[in-house]
Amino acid sequence: MQLRDDAATTEIDPQSCGECPWHRGQWDGQFLSLDGASAADFTEDDIDEVLGYGDTGEGWDGESAGIVLLKDGRYVAWESNWGPTGSGFSCDAYGGEADIAFAQTAGRALEYLSEKSRELIKWA
């Protein structure tokens, strides 16, 4: 399973990712191990590379998804959404329930994402 186009050489800055696990506030989601990988929390400083990220852009409602490689070798995948009353990574009136999935391989992390989320992602 190929994650990116061989011609792709663009780096994605973690700060440019809007709706993502390292920008979360109060949150009620879960850390999921997909294949025995450690599901321990991480911060932006733990990211080795943003492999892909995408969102539907600014707006009242939206969706995002991404995959990162951590410095310890784990892959992290997520999909989230936001709206006028909440976000997947922030407990507003509704929200805060986006899960964060950890895997030992990029392919397994990608399999976790829905087809719709995979279509959003722009690969590095």
Q: Does a structural domain hold residue 10?
A: no
pLDDT tens string 78-92: 999 888 877 888 877
Note the pLDDT tens digit of each residue in 30-54.
Answer: 999 999 999 999 999 999 999 999 9
Asked if 41 and 31 touch (Cβ cutoff 8 Å), the reply is yes
Q: Is there a domain that residue 50 lies in?
A: yes
Give the chain's domain count.
Answer: 1
Write out the residue range of the structural domain in which residue 87 sits.
17-123
Question: For the residues of 54-121, what is the DSSP string, one character each?
Answer: EE--SSSSEEEEEEEEETTS-EEEEEEEEETTEETTB-SSS-----EEEESSHHHHHHHS-HHHHHH-
